[in-house]
Each structure stands twice: as C-alpha cells, then as structure tokens.
Amino acid sequence: MEDKRARDLAVVQSQVIACRRCPRLVAWREGVAQNPPLRYRGQEYWAKPLPGWGDAVAQLFIVGLAPAAHGGNRTGRVFTGDRSGDWLFRALWKAGFANQPLSVGVDDGLQLNNCYIAATARCAPPQNKLLPEEIANCRPYLQRELELMPQTKVILGLGKIGFDAAFDVMRALGRTTWKARPKFSHGAEAQISENVWLLGTYHPSQQNTFTGKLTETMFDTVFARAHEIINSA
C-alpha cells in the first residue's frame, strides 16, 4: 500500500516537473537561471517546476506559496537553499518533523518525518506574486497529492494563499463540510472535518521574518500545535 502510494505520488511529481502550463512562469523560472546573481554564478539551476516532497504517508501536509527564484528554482527541492527554508526546516526539526535543521541542497541528507511539503504553485513567480489563473492552473497537482494522502491530519498553510488553496482543494475533494473558507490569520485553526485540521501561519518570507512580523517563537508554536493535534487521539 505504502509502495503503491509512493509510486502514485511519483507519477504526479513527474507530471509537475514536465509542466509548462503557465507561460509567464515558464519564462521567469528559466530566465532567472540564465542570469543568476554573482553569488550563484556558475551553478546549474534546476529551472523547472518543483514537485511536492516528503513522507508519502505523512500526517502533516504543508502548503507553501511557490518556489523562490534562487532557492528551490536553483536547487531543485522545495524551500531548499533560501532564507524561508532556513526558517521552515529549523522549525520542523525542532518539532521532530525533520532529521536536521538545515536544507542547502538535494544531497544534504535531510529527511522529513511524517511531513510532506507542497506548494500552491510549483514555479517561481516574479516578485513572488502569482496570478489567479496560475493558481488555478496548478491546483490539480495539489488536489491529486492530497487525494493520494487520505491519512493527512493537519494541513498547514504558509500564508493566506497557501491556506486558502489547501481549503479549496479539500472542499473540491469533498473532504470538508465547510462551505466558506475559514478566516486566515497567524495561528488560525479550523477543524474542517472529523479528522482534519487546517492551520495557518504567516509565511516565513524575509518580508515577515526581517520585520519581526513573524518571530521564531510564533513560528515554533504553530508546529508544536500541529504535533499536538497529530498525537491526540
């Protein structure tokens, strides 16, 4: 069963990697790779969409916004090689969902425990801003991943866009009786079905972490809560 699940997820992941549905994002993800900043000159960029990654039978499912142009779009793994990832993996490690706090490259030994990470859109957008049609184009991938992972107990949206995208997909899958989206806030918590909680946190982007809008303690508290829900009866 677990092997079949991993195989089915691998099919979705290869479909994601081959996707060129959003012309603006295809041009951006490939264009930034052609002209990297000085610090990354000489590195070969991934420059393709980023599939979800992690434990195929995870109970914690994280939905981010989209890859960073010089983070995941460079390294080829979600949240790997950028400041947002530094925050995310440190928090996951502290809460027991990762075996190490650092994520710098695909061969860095990082493993996720009971955690899977996906995103609202799988290609890096200009100025980290997605168009509504790009969110809609990419939604089937998130939907298929969540469909293949019925054991998910906590879905954590990083930022309002990830939070809303996760809820919309769960509603489309018929896995919630809620008609309206729960209201997003940092620390938002909605039990959207008997077995599934949707949590929200501010996104660990530099815009939030540099300004102190999101502190390490605030972020850690959300992961501690996810851990608590997963371990409750």
Q: Where does this chain bind ligand SF4 (CB under 6 A)?
A: 16, 19-22, 25-26, 49, 121-123, 134, 137-138
Coil, strand or helix at 127: helix
Write the DSSP string, 22-48.
-HHHHHHHHHHHHS--GGGTTPPP--S
Nearer to ligand SF4, 122 or 227 (CB): 122
Do residues 163 and 185 make contact, with C-beta atoms less than 8 angstroms apart? no
- In angstroms, the CA 25 to CA 225 distance is 35
Report, in Å, the least distance between residue 193 CB and ligand SF4: 26
Tokens (6 digits) for 57: 């039978």
Report, in Å, the least distance between residue 54 CB and ligand SF4: 18
Report, in Å, the least distance between residue 198 CB and ligand SF4: 22
Do residues 2 and 57 make contact, with C-beta atoms less than 8 angstroms apart? yes
The residue among 74, 77, 101 whose CA lies nearest residue 89 is 101
Nearer to ligand SF4, 67 or 182 (CB): 67
> Strand runs (DSSP E) across 186-230, as ranges?
189-191, 197-201
Write the DSSP string, 53-107.
EE-TT-SEEEEES---TTTHHHHSSTT-SSHHHHHHHHHHHHTTSBS-S---STT
Nearer to ligand SF4, 59 or 137 (CB): 137
Report, in Å, the least distance between residue 124 CB and ligand SF4: 9
Report, in Å, the least distance between residue 120 CB and ligand SF4: 9
Nearer to ligand SF4, 47 or 91 (CB): 47
Nearer to ligand SF4, 26 or 172 (CB): 26
